[in-house]
Amino acid sequence: MRRSSAARARTAVLILLAATAIMLLCTYVAYTGLPYLYSLLGAEPDPYWKQVIFATVFFILFVGCVGAISSLMSKRHMIVWDMIQDAMRRIAKGDFSVSIDLPMDEKDRLGTIVSNVNQMAVELGALEKMRQEFISNVSHEIQSPLTSIQGFAKAIKQENLSPEARLRYITIIETESERLSKISDNLLKLTSLESKHHPFEQIPYRLDKQLRNVVLASEPKWLEKKLDMEVELEPLTVRADRDLMSQVWINLLSNAIKFTPEGGTIRIGLSSGEGRARVSVADTGIGLTEEDRQHVFERFYKADKSRTSSAGGSGLGLSIVQKIIEMHGGEISVESRLGEGTVFLVTLLLEAQEPDA
């Protein structure tokens, strides 16, 4: 509102200055031109008619100048409006390379419209690029297990196939089917979370107990790899959606187990500070390159492409984790070096009062 009022005030001042300048110009022309006209005619009217003639000439000059300026401005505005309409038609047809290249004052309303149209085209172009990349990634991720299933299904039809080979092929088909199902589930989950219609019920609960339960539930996996699990949890209560946050911890812990070599260590910590709960999930695994670290939360991004495919990863897990954390007003970050392990740090707001359970 303040900006709008200031803009209107500036416009009014400019109009007043322009009108004053035109009036001064018309006065000068009438004042100097009429005596010259009288001398040509060889007659000079009395003072009364001089004033009438002066006022009439001044009025005609003033109206003519204003009309000429208005006509020029109107033509310029029409040209700009035609360009805006053409740009909008191209955008509607999917051409987002549109750019109205005109020197415009963004403080002017028409200039603001031109600027907004250009910005809209840029943002729609970026969204279209993301959409195309998303479709390409989905097609690739789905096509890979489908190709595998199709190939091994044909191989099973061979009559001279040994029972051992047949069982191996069936196992591969089963694994790829589960991978395809997981991709589908994660896509639906991510779409639901981004639609803002996903069930979201925040309640106060003990975060340390939830983390401890997740660690215990995954015990067979980390015992199988002979991993050391170090857990240090401060009793803290947060207000969050318990089920969604459980998915976060399961995903982070599963990744730590998956990418930590046999005999490694996983550390899970929970502490508080500045009204926030801080959860860290650290491992002594393969780590990430700097490039991988910057893209690790992007959809379908796989830091270790040679291993995530065989392990059934879809590259969607951390995107889902980040979305859930953002829904809770929290933050997630990652620190890692190749060959030196990875640390995921999650911060959430603490609940003011802690319940018993």
Nearest to 190 by CA among 300, 333, 349, 291: 300
pLDDT at 210: 95
Please give the average per-residue pLDDT across 79-104, as a whole number.
76
Token code pair at residue 145 = 């297990």
Task: Please report, rounded to a whole number, the percentage of residues in the chain having pLDDT higher than 90.
Answer: 22
Is 268 strand, coil or helix?
Answer: strand
- Please indicate whether residue 33 or residue 1 has the higher confidence score (pLDDT): 33
Q: Using alpha carbons, list the distances in angstroms from residue 70 to 23, 89, 247.
A: 15, 28, 65
pLDDT at 12: 66
Report the C-alpha gap between 164 and 134 in whole angstroms: 39
CB 341 within 8 A of CB 287: yes
> How confident is residue 2, by pLDDT bands cut at 50, 70 and 90?
very low
Maximum separation of any 2 CA atoms in the chain, in Å: 126
pLDDT at 333: 93
- DSSP 8-state symbol, 239: E
Q: Is the pLDDT of residue 243 over 60?
A: yes
Is 1 strand, coil or helix?
Answer: coil
- Please indicate whether residue 300 or residue 342 has the higher confidence score (pLDDT): 342
- Continuous segment of H or E residues that includes residue 283: strand 276-283
- Among the ranges 9-13, 119-123, 310-314, which has the highest mean pLDDT value? 119-123
pLDDT at 3: 46
Please give the average per-residue pLDDT across 132-139, as a whole number.
70
Report the C-alpha gap between 283 and 83 in whole angstroms: 57
> How confident is residue 74, by pLDDT bands cut at 50, 70 and 90?
low
- DSSP 8-state symbol, 281: E
pLDDT at 14: 65
Report the C-alpha gap between 230 and 267 in whole angstroms: 5
Please give the average per-residue pLDDT across 37-64, as a whole number.
74
- Please indicate whether residue 301 or residue 327 has the higher confidence score (pLDDT): 327
Residue 187, beta-bridge partner list:
none
pLDDT at 31: 67
Is 106 strand, coil or helix?
Answer: coil
- Buried-state track 97-111, b at ≥16 Cβ within 10 A, e below 16: ebebeeebeeeeebe
Q: Give the DSSP letter string of 160-215.
A: T--HHHHHHHHHHHHHHHHHHHHHHHHHHHHHHHHTT-S----EEEEHHHHHHHHH
